[in-house]
Amino acid sequence: MHRLRARPYAAALVALALAVTTASCTGSDEPEGAPSPAPSSAPAESPATSDEPAPESVQPRVRVTRVSGRLKPKDQEVLADNVGKVVNAYFEDAFTGGAYPRTSFGDAFATFSDGAARQADGDRDLLTNRVLGPQTESVVVRRQTAYLSVLAPYKVAAGVTATVHLRFVAERADKPAKRVDVKGRLMLTRKEKSGGWKIFGYDLTQDATTAGEGGAR
């Protein structure tokens, strides 16, 4: 097993994270550090056998769990959709998308701010699938969740901390498959002109385990 951890980028994010998690909150009380699994209707993780069809990737799950301030339920849904597109685009560009085997992850940080993208470029082994990419034949997503803590001081979302967990299996032709877990936090703020969202900070770990070890799959 290999484990990678990036140096958290953007010290100013601490204030945002604390404000979001310690101020009076509305919404679910689900712990941010340990997001609950998807509902029972989601595809279950089970060992594949030679008689079973190739497993399909699960769908991303994104929702607001905490709000510091006030944000209408409908606005929370819109926010989850918009922020989810940014987070999911990053995961797709950096890990789950593209034609494998691949060595290029040039678009991995397209949803990052300029400063975060420059910092992330030095953390590519952690923030992308570059290490396993050349030997990977295909990727199957087992879990992809983002639980959002929102700072909304004036009934409008101003900042978001997304607690994320991406788990995928990298199938390799001549080597055992690897189960990869990417966990941690992504911090997002609004774009100056469009009002859309961009990732401006991260605090992530990546663990890769040989599939089948200790029941890993």
CATH value at residue 155:
3.10.450
Q: What pLDDT is attached to residue 146?
A: 99
Nearest alpha-carbon partner for 7 in 202, 207, 206, 208 = 202
In the predicted model, what is the mean pLDDT of residues 17-34? Answer: 41
Domain presence at residue 51: no
Ranges 61-65, 102-106, 169-173, 192-196, most confident: 61-65
Residue 30 pLDDT > 80:
no
Q: What pLDDT is attached to residue 197?
A: 98
**What does the pLDDT look like over 141-158, one tens digit per residue?**
999 999 999 999 999 999
Question: Can you tell me whether residue 185 is helix, strand or coil?
Answer: strand
Domain presence at residue 41: no
Nearest alpha-carbon partner for 211 in 173, 183, 180 = 180
Structure tokens at 202: 């991260």
Return the percentage of the chain with pLDDT > 90, whole number: 68
Q: Structural domain of residue 197, as residue ranges?
A: 10-27+58-209
Least confident among 9-18, 95-104, 136-145, 161-170: 9-18
Higher-pLDDT residue of 215, 62: 62
Q: What pLDDT is attached to residue 55?
A: 74
pLDDT band, residue 174 (cuts 50/70/90): confident
Domain presence at residue 144: yes
Residue 52 pLDDT > 70:
no
Query: Taking the model in full, what pTM does it have?
Result: 0.79
pLDDT band, residue 33 (cuts 50/70/90): very low
Residue 186 pLDDT > 70:
yes
Domain presence at residue 138: yes
Q: What pLDDT is attached to residue 7?
A: 56
Residue 74 pLDDT > 70:
yes
Domain presence at residue 36: no
Give exposure, 43-53, as e/b (b: 16+ Cβ within 10 Å).
Answer: eebeeeeeeee
Report the number of distinct structural domains present in the chain.
1
DSSP codes joined into one string, 113-131? -HHHHHHHHTTHHHHSSTT
Domain presence at residue 32: no
Nearest alpha-carbon partner for 152 in 70, 65, 82 = 70
Domain presence at residue 170: yes
- Write out the H or E segment, with its range, that includes residue 90: helix 73-91
The whole-angstrom separation of Cα 169 and Cα 101 is 14
Residue 84 pLDDT > 80:
yes
Residue 4 pLDDT > 70:
no
In the predicted model, what is the mean pLDDT of residues 100-129? Answer: 96
Domain presence at residue 150: yes
The whole-angstrom separation of Cα 85 and Cα 79 is 10
